[in-house]
Structure 1
Amino acid sequence: MTFNQQPPNKIERLRREHNTLNKLWNLYHQKWTKLGEDLAIENDTATKNKLEKQIKDAKTELNDIEIQLSNIESMLPQRQITQSRDDAILQESSNREIPEIDQEIEQVKEELRKVRKRPRISNLWSYLKDLRIKVCTRKNRLIILFVLVLCSGGAVFLPYILINFNPDVCQLPAADVSNIDFSPDGKYLATASLDKTVRILKVSETITDQKTKLVVACQEHTESVVAVKFSPDREYLATATLDSAYLWKVNDNHGIITLSKIQDLSHVDTPPNNKLQYRNPVVAIDFSSQDGKYLATASADGKIKVWITKTTEAKVLPTPPGQAKAYIVSVSFSHDGNYIATTDVNEIANVWELKADDGTLTPRSLLSIPNVTDVAFNLKNKENNIYFATARADGTVQVRDISNLNQPIPSLNHNTYVVDVSFSPGGKFIAAIGLDKKVSVWDRETKNSAIPLLTQESLKKNTNVAAIAFSLDDEYLAVAHTDGKVSVWNTINRTEEDSLTPQVKGLVTLAFSSTTNGEYLLAMAGVDGQIEMKKFKRK
């Protein structure tokens, strides 16, 4: 049996699909940016609501395409990836209108369908003919028949083989990183991965692919892990997965870390037609920051539960009147653990008070705010006041004192749709990231822009912002950019302290450790599962 040509090239097909998806991502990014610009100058309320809905839909498409691209990139050799999404941004034209972009989107979608369409195979012999396999002789036909019989037998036993073949995923490098969290003492870093694992790394200033001795513990889950969080005393670890959430006891025996499962914190629905119970994905988790007494879990169906950590007793937060449950985007505790805030995919923020006058856990809805994309409470500050920040679709950030929620402090203006807001740990600064991929930083007391993070020169280099992180004493601000670089700013003298190019692929998140011997560690995580750490000295 001889072959005159190779079977269809899978690598070539994947490469073409990757390039076509990049085109599609580029077009949706153009549409997303253009809609954000239109929203910033629009005054009509009805038109603004329509634009906000279109922005949300475009963002959903971008996220879906990014997932598809990441899956393909994991199967392609690096040299086969001819165009990155960062390259695509550089090709954008700001003069195009939405209908023109939509028309090209449909054309590229049709192109993508053709790329993905596989050739029809009418029968085995025509397929062999397409491969130009010479099967004319009786001997070759007998050989092929024998191979087919063997393959048929293998197909019968294949399910049994797959069920019983279960390699230990913890013995392999992490396939990706979706979330990270330092232990409060700064000694360990927990990572969450879509490969269904949570790994605990011993902190060290090194690059690791998470298969070295730095991994001191690994816990496999039944589904992909999307979030991980240490309790403030490092006694517990909470994990959120696509089918549940879990509370673990962190056991430290002279540096030997093990995790013992305490409770399955599942969000289970029982359909009225008596079908099997459905376990909802848990998409956000948070410990009360001061004492870790409470743990909040939020699921994709809009249900929020507050658990008493010691007893795992839970209370479900009541849905405010007139609202429908919706996918929860973020959840945040006040530093004293008495209040909790959430925002959902419908851009509605809700604030609850957790304790009744007698000190029992009795959740009570306080306030609902529309057109909010993200929420954040400040951590403990010198005045011990509780502030609550909301990122808004109109391009502003509002800050409220918890004692007077109905009277927001004058708004901070970012000028375009805001997608993320956070307080610095020390409470001195408020940071916001907008749809335009810029970051604004304000001094909470003066309300003035504090740090000139993105100058015109840096914008020319396409240093769009992907994520930010403050050091715990507010001294440093790290900014990750979509070109793979990380800028570290000194907030005291308002200058760039360092410019880093970590050897990780696709930066997804940043985190600073607590101070140890006058030093911090900045962890930078990529979609390829790698972690890089950089040491900074406290000034």
Structure 2
Amino acid sequence: MKSSYKFSNLLGTVYTGANVLFTPDGNSVLSPVGNRVSMFDLVNNTSCTLPFEMRKNIDRMALSPNGTLLVTVDKDGRALLINLPRRVVLHHMNFKTRARAIQFSPDGKYFAITSDKTVNIWKAPGHTREFAPFVLYFTALGHHDAVTNVNWSPDSRFFITSSKDMTCRIFTVDRSIDFVPASLSGHRDYIVNAWFSADMKNIYSISRDGSLFQWKNSTYAAMHEDSDTEMVEVDEDGNEIVRVDKVKWRIQKKNYFNSTSIKVTEAQFFAASNLVVAGFANGLFGIYEVPNFTTIHTLSISQKKIDTVAINVTGEWLAFGSAALGQLLVWEWQSETYVLKQQGHYYDINSVSYSGDGQSLATGGDDGKVKVWNTASGFCFVTFSEHSSGVNAVEFAKQGQVLFSASLDGTVRAFDLVRYRNFRTFTSPNPVQFTSLAVDPSGEIVCAGTMDTFEIYVWSVQTGKLLDILAGHTGPISSLAFSPTGMMLVSGSWDHSARTWDVFGRTKSIEPLVHQTEVLAVAFKPDGKEIAAATLDGNITFWDIQEANIVGTVDGRKDIMGGRKKDDRTSSDNAASGKCFNSICYTADGTSLIGSGTSKYICIYDVASSFLIKKFTISKNLSLDGTQEMLNSKYMTEFGSLEELEDEGSDREERVDLSLPGTRSGDLSVRNTRPEIKSKAVRFSPTGRSWAAATTDGLMIYSLDEDILFDPFDLEIDITPETVIEALGEKEYLKSLCMAFRLNEKPLLHTVFEGVPPDSVDLVARGMPEKYLFKLLTFVGMHMETSPHIEFHLLWVTSVMTAHGRYLRDHRGQFQPVFRALHKGVNRVRDDIATLCDSNQYTLKYLLNQQAIAARKEAAMQE
């Protein structure tokens, strides 16, 4: 078995706080998910999580104007400089204080980052090797309270800061001018954001109480009754430069939103169209046109406050994030449609299950929702909200077309994944709470174990009737599993035993398998001859079904031991008493077993030797409890940990706890608690190429490292159009085609593609690296619509499918849009040829008929 699994993606969580960003092309959204960054491609409908991890949750992000450099800052002020296209970390930096805002200048030469009451301007790092990528340019002083935001002028010479001291200040990075920082005051609440207009003749500022001010410049010359020529100068190229340093700012107009008690939480400005987008604490957002303050659009997207707003480069798409709901939305305001609408589970994920083909994942959470995720795109495509309490187990059946879920609300529900509806609901005669679920391989029988009556209920899926009640356990049923043959059911219980049940037999034989402590999870080996049971003491016991004896034992407590909570009195080495596996799963071939539990580790064992193969760390996020091995004593005080106290909000609205229904005043003494790192469920994919774990951070996907394919042309530096044509002239068709894909120039691609002789197509297709298959098939699908060389394209498609069929089958989720385009192109060509053939056939018949008529006329004339 291969153990080189790498972190692949993070599902189940789409937004946890901080700001979201659009890429410069406007087609992708970057969203912070805990201490990681997820990237959502809105055009190709895919998502991925960047492979790096920060020390704590991300607080702020900024992207350079050209989209290559990403700066992420966590809650401690530690930053990472990332090359976004290559997805590698270039540099680590510690700003030592929490940053409320960070912004690159439009020309990409500087970036500004707030530090409490000051703003530091740094020279932006370049793409070359530098001794110090971050160089401090100067520090802007003057505010008397924390700076909330910073924004640059369009010419990158000035920047404006907004603060909690209810003022805005204008600074410059141009040291050649004699500039005195201007202060704009007049708001009655702290300012959320402030911006320059596109012509730099207006400034717009918005405060938390819902007031939007327009500031107009008035020149010194006008005040002294002179001409206003000093305000505008002309540079060497003849362009006008607005001299912000030569003006004073006056309030031109005051505008107020029609809400007195609802606060503005976030606002952004799109200078090209003079649009202001404001998000409110009640989940409402509005789009307003300035300076006329015309309301263009308002919409309520949630019941919780909007934490972030972002506008793409064209101003058509708006991104909103709500951390309380874990919700991320992208709204196209002109057509009033959702481009993206994703939401993770509100609470913990309790269970996870793979479909038979490994293309879908189902999760059930404490929020009572069942979500189904596409493993290829990373998006949730359906959510079922019929349950009224936490969902403890989910299982697929019928080749992934039916999904079953068991909940604490006393129901087991069956969902149709073709029509997306709840078509069957199974209940018990008396109200119970279901904690476990199992479906036989045929999908005809479903079983569920209970928390309170210690019984197992058996239903028929076809009729929905209760067939049997299996009694015998004296403790809650923690886990159920059907054998692969479907003839036997195994159950694990808190009564220190696992039992095998002959569900379909006449004898109803029951075999108890006694353990020393409570059984938390059971799993059947794929051959159906062995059972694995995980117990509360951290052990995993392997049982032979035929003989009912123990064939192996794994002492896993020492393997998953690790991590110290903030209030632990003992060290992590001695705190192994509560460490155990609560979910186990065999691989498809049965040679290995994976287990997860109340620890930051996930372990994979070899079944034959009972040895630990590999141990994975779920997360290194210090914002979670239990990720550290050693605690720092300097953070401990008699009132508790300083880290806990620092998490409290500075404003009254951030400290009030309104979590209880019906409360209005809230509890001011509330203390935030850090979630504990753990994993409640783990499952292997049926293909064995990946596995998924339901963790505190979300649904983490680990897969074999196959996406990073070696490309020999990565080592080449002299790939130019001339060398491509030269390689084509030397009849090195494979090399020239790969080099053309690297350059990605359409005229050059057409030349090389059509320059490959038909008798060499099969040979070139066999040698084509897997990295270029997606580009090749996409190009063929697009080129097929305009080119007359029909047989040539069909020959390419046939050769590629024949040579790389297995790879395309294993990655069919990734290649689905390409297959659709090819199918569409081939069908169009077929229809065109069929229409042409029919037309030619009718034309030939007409001509033959005309010939026959002419012959008859000639014969008649001769007579």
TM-score scaled by length of structure 1: 0.45
TM-score scaled by length of structure 2: 0.29
- Tell me which of the two structures has the higher relative contact order, counting C-alpha pairs closer than 8 angstroms and 6 or more residues apart: 1
* Greater fraction of residues in helix: 1
- The structure with the largest alpha-carbon Rg is 2
